[in-house]
Amino acid sequence: SAVELLIANNKIKLMELNKNLDRETISFGYLKETIEIIAYILFKLDNFKKHLTNIQPSII
């Protein structure tokens, strides 16, 4: 019947939306992880720079 067909089509659309949402969620997870890694590297580089600044006067 028309109602069953409508329900089936809506179910298919919902399944497709769910797949797309899963992909976007995974992509966001990778983006978040990448940003956290970059922030960690920048933090370590800043600490290294401070450490070098402290060592430099003793070398000269």
Distances (CA, A) of 37 to 10, 17, 31, 34: 40, 30, 10, 5
The whole-model pTM stands at 0.58
Who has greater pLDDT, 25 or 37?
37
Distance, in Å, from the CA atom of 37 to the CA atom of 48, rounded to the nearest integer, reads: 16
59 pLDDT above the threshold of 70: no
Domain ranges across the chain:
1-60
Residues 28-40, mean pLDDT to the nearest whole number? 92
Residues 19-47, mean pLDDT to the nearest whole number? 90
Tens of pLDDT, residues 36-58:
999 999 999 998 988 888 887 76
CA dihedral 45, 50, 52, 54 (to 10 degrees): -170
Which tokens is 25 given?
A: 């969620």
